[in-house]
Amino acid sequence: MPIAIGTTDLISILPIAIVSLFGVYLLLQSVFAPRMNRILIPYLGILGVGLAVVGNFFLIGMEGTAFEGMVRVDRLTVVLNFLFLITAALSLLITISYHEGEHVEFLEFTPLVLFSTAGMMVMGSAESLMTIFLGLETMSIALYVMAGFRRTNRHSLEAALKYFLLGAFATGFLLYGMALTYGMVGSTNLTQIAQYFTQNALDVPLVALMGLALIIIGFGFKVALVPFHMWTPDVYQGSPLPVTAYMAVGAKAAGFAAILRVISLSAFSIAFQWSEILWVLAVLTMTVGNVVALVQDNIKRMLAYSSIAHAGYILVGVVASNDQTVPSVVFYLIVYLFMNLGAFAVATMVAGQNERRVNIQYYRGLGYTQPLLALAMAVFMFSLAGFPPTAGFIGKFYIFSAALQSGYVWLVILGVINSLISVYYYLNVVVAMYMQQPVDEKKIAPVLPGVGVVILVAVLGIVYLGIFPGTMLSVLR
C-alpha cells in the first residue's frame, strides 16, 4: 500500500505548516535568543501568522482531499483558516499590550498560541475523525497551559487545573464516541461516514447513534453547551485576559468547525435523529447563558456567560440543517470574532495591571474619561446584543432565518426572547459608561498601540459587516 505525498498534499497544509514551524522556532528563540531580543517574540509570531495568511491564499480555489483522505481542502477550510489566523494575530496584539503590565514573563505564550492555532486549523480542514481528534488535542493542550499562565495568581492556576481535568474528561467521551462510530462504519473517513448514514438513514443502528451523541457531547464541551458548560465561567475568569479572548473566539470557532464537519455535513442525512437533541441543547444554552449573565458584575464572567449564550445562538443555525447552515454559522463566527475580541481588548485596557479592575463598576464614567474607548465598547455591546446596523444583528438575522426556513418557529421565538434578555446586561455596561459617575479618580492608562489596532479592526469589521454583509455572504455561499 503505497503512500505518496505530493505537492498538493503539502500545499493543503501550508498555513498549518508555517504556523507550526514558527511555533517551534519561537519556542527555541524563547530560550536561546539574548534576553534583549526576547520581547520581539510576539512580533515574530504575528509575522508567522501573516505568512500563514499569505500561504492560505494558495488554498483558494482548491477542492478535494489530501494525505489519503485525512485532510480536506474546500472553501470552508480556507475561510476557517483565515478566521483562526486573524484570531491568533489579534490575540497576539492584545498580548503585546497586556504583558507590559504583568510581572510574569510571557515568553512561551506566543509559541503556544501558534501551536493552538495550528490545532484549530487542523480541525477546520479535517476529513477524518482522527484528524479532528489530533487537532482538538493540539489546540486544547496548549490552551490548558495558557489558562494557567499567570502562575502567581490563584485563580489562574485554578482555571488551568479545572480546564485540564474537565477537558480530559470530555475528551474521553469524544474518543469513545469516535470509537463507536468507527466500530459501526468501519472507517474514520468523514465521506465514508456520510455514505454510511445515507445508506442506513431509515434504520440507524443504536450504536452509531450513541457514537454520534457522545461526539456531540465532546464538541459541546469545547463550545460550552449547557450542561457541559460548567468550566467556562471559572476558566474565563481565571485565565489572563488575552487568553480568555483567544479561547472564547478561537476554541469556540474550532469546536463549531468540527460540529459543522461531523454533524452538519457528515450526518446530514440523519438530521432528524439529532436535531431534536440539539434543539433542546440550543434552548438550554441560550437561556442559561443569558439568565445567569444578568447577575454577573465581573466583566470577564459576564462575557463568559455571554459566550455560552452565543454558542446557543450558533447552535440554532446547526439545528436548522439546511443549505443555509454553513454560511450562517460561519458568518456568525466571523462576527463573533470581531465583537468578542474587541470587547476583551477594551476589558484588557480597563483592567490595567494585574487585572485589578475587572468589575463592571470600573466602567462607570468611561464615556467621559476615555470617550473613544467607551464608544468602541458601546459598539461591541450593541453588536453582541444584536442591534442593527451592527454585524451582530445581521449574524443573528441569518441564523434565525436559516432556522425559520426549516420551520423551527418556536426555536426562533425563544432565540429572540433570549436576545431581548441579553440586552439588559450588555446595556448595563453602556449605561455605566455613559450615565454614571466614575468610582475612583484613577486614570486608565492611555490605549496602547497593540490593543488600539485590535479595537479599530474590530469596530471596522462590525460596522462593515453590519452595513455591507453581502460580499462576505456571497463568499460563504
Partner 1 sequence: MLLQYIPILVLSVIALGFAAAVLILTHVISPKVKDPVKLTVYESGLPPQMEARLRYPIRFFVVAMMFILFDVEVIFIYPWAVVYQQFLAYGSFIFWEMLLFIAVLFAGYLYLYKRGAFKWE
Partner 2 sequence: MESFVWYIPILPLTGAIINGLFGRVLKDKAGWIASLSVLGAFGLSIQAFLLVREGITFDGNLFDWIVAGNFHTSFGVLVDELSVIMMLIVTGVGFLIHVYSNGYMHGDPGIARYFAYLNLFIFSMLLLVMGNNLLLLYLGWEGVGLCSYLLIGFWYQKPSAAKAGLKAFITNRVGDFGFAIGIFIIFKAIGTIYYSQIFQQTEELLAAGVLTAATLLLFVGATGKSAQFPLHVWLPDAMEGPTPVSALIHAATMVTAGVYMVARFSPLYSLSEVAMAVVVIIGTFTALFAATMALVNNDIKRVLAYSTISQLGYMFIGVGVGAYAAGIFHLMTHAFFKALLFLGAGSVMHALAEETNIQKMGGLYSRIKITAVTFIVAWLAISGIPPFSGFFSKDEILAKAYAYHPLIWVLGTLGALLTAFYMSRLVFLTFFGKSRVEPEREHHIHESPPVMTVPLIILAVLAAVGGFVGVPEVLGGHNHFGKFLEPVFAQAEANLHLAHVSHTVEYGLMAASVLMGLLGIGLAYLMYIKASISPVTLADRFRKVYRLLSNKYYVDEIYQKLVIDPIVSFSRWLWHAVDEGIVDGIVNLSGRLMLLFGLILRRVQTGYVQNYAALFVLGTLILLAYYLLS
Which residues are near partner 2 by CB under 8 A?
161-162, 165-166, 169-170, 173, 206, 209-210, 213-214, 216-217, 221, 227-228, 230-231, 233-234, 276-277, 288, 291-295, 397-398, 401, 405, 421, 424, 468-471, 473-474, 477
- Under DSSP, is residue 71 helix (H, G, I), strand (E, B) or coil? strand
90 HSE (CA, 13 A, CB side): 34
Nearer to partner 2, 169 or 410 (CB): 169
Q: How far is the CB of 3 from partner 1 (least distance, A)?
A: 7
Asked whether position 2 contacts partner 1 by CB under 8 A, the answer is yes
Nearer to partner 1, 2 or 202 (CB): 2
Assigned C-alpha cell, 338: 470581531
Q: How far is the CB of 90 from partner 2 (least distance, A)?
A: 23
Nearer to partner 2, 60 or 165 (CB): 165
Distance, in Å, from the CA atom of 275 to the CA atom of 198, rounded to the nearest integer, reads 16
Residue 260 interacting partner from partner 1, partner 2, none (CB closer than 5 to 8 Å by kind): none
Q: SS3 helix, strand, coil % of the chain, rounded to 5?
A: 80, 0, 20
341 HSE (CA, 13 A, CB side): 38
Q: Which of 11, 18, 27, 244 is the binder for partner 1 (CB under 8 A)? A: 27
What DSSP character marks residue 440? Answer: -
Nearer to partner 2, 405 or 436 (CB): 405
Residue 157 interacting partner from partner 1, partner 2, none (CB closer than 5 to 8 Å by kind): none
Nearer to partner 2, 176 or 434 (CB): 176
Task: State the number of binding residues for partner 1 (CB under 8 A).
Answer: 10
25-33, 246-254, 342-350, 420-428 -> range binding partner 1 (CB under 8 A): 25-33
Do β-strands 71-73 and 64-66 pair in parallel, antiparallel, or remain unpaired? antiparallel
Nearer to partner 1, 31 or 202 (CB): 31
Distance, in Å, from the CA atom of 89 to the CA atom of 33, rounded to the nearest integer, reads 22
Residue 308: how many other CB atoms lie within 10 Å:
27
Q: Which of 8, 10, 28, 407 is the binder for partner 1 (CB under 8 A)? A: 28
Distance, in Å, from the CA atom of 324 to the CA atom of 336, rounded to the nearest integer, reads 18
Q: How far is the CB of 88 from partner 2 (least distance, A)?
A: 28
Q: Which residues are registered as beta bridge partners of 126?
A: 71
Burial class (CB in 10 A: 0-12, 13-18, 19+), 306: buried
CB 414 within 8 A of CB 400: no
Asked whether position 122 contacts partner 1 by CB under 8 A, the answer is no
Asked whether position 36 contacts partner 1 by CB under 8 A, the answer is no
Residue 28 interacting partner from partner 1, partner 2, none (CB closer than 5 to 8 Å by kind): partner 1
Asked whether position 280 contacts partner 1 by CB under 8 A, the answer is no
- Rounded to the nearest 10 degrees, the angle between the axes of helix 325-351 and helix 371-385 is 150
Residue 169 interacting partner from partner 2, partner 1, none (CB closer than 5 to 8 Å by kind): partner 2
Q: Which of 3, 36, 103, 474 is the binder for partner 1 (CB under 8 A)? A: 3
Residue 30 interacting partner from partner 2, partner 1, none (CB closer than 5 to 8 Å by kind): partner 1
CB 377 within 8 A of CB 389: no
Asked whether position 202 contacts partner 1 by CB under 8 A, the answer is no
> What is the CA angle 452-453-458, rounded to 5?
100
Q: How far is the CB of 40 from partner 2 (least distance, A)?
A: 34
Instruction: Find the Cα–Cα–Cα–Cα dihedral 266, 267, 268, 271, rounded to 10°.
Output: -170
Asked whether position 30 contacts partner 1 by CB under 8 A, the answer is yes
Residue 71 interacting partner from partner 1, partner 2, none (CB closer than 5 to 8 Å by kind): none
Instruction: Quickly list DSSP for 211-225.
Output: HHHHHHHHHHHHHT-
CB 316 within 8 A of CB 407: no
Distance, in Å, from the CA atom of 258 to the CA atom of 129, rounded to the nearest integer, reads 9
Radius of gyration of the chain (CA): 21
Nearer to partner 1, 73 or 107 (CB): 107
Nearer to partner 1, 168 or 409 (CB): 168
Q: How far is the CB of 470 from partner 2 (least distance, A)?
A: 3
What DSSP character marks residue 446? Answer: P
Nearer to partner 2, 37 or 471 (CB): 471
Q: Give φ, ψ of 441 to 5 degrees.
A: -80, -10
Distance, in Å, from the CA atom of 437 to the CA atom of 448, rounded to the nearest integer, reads 24
Q: How far is the CB of 380 from partner 2 (least distance, A)?
A: 20
Nearer to partner 2, 14 or 283 (CB): 283
Binding site for partner 1 (CB under 8 A): 2-5, 24, 27-28, 30-32
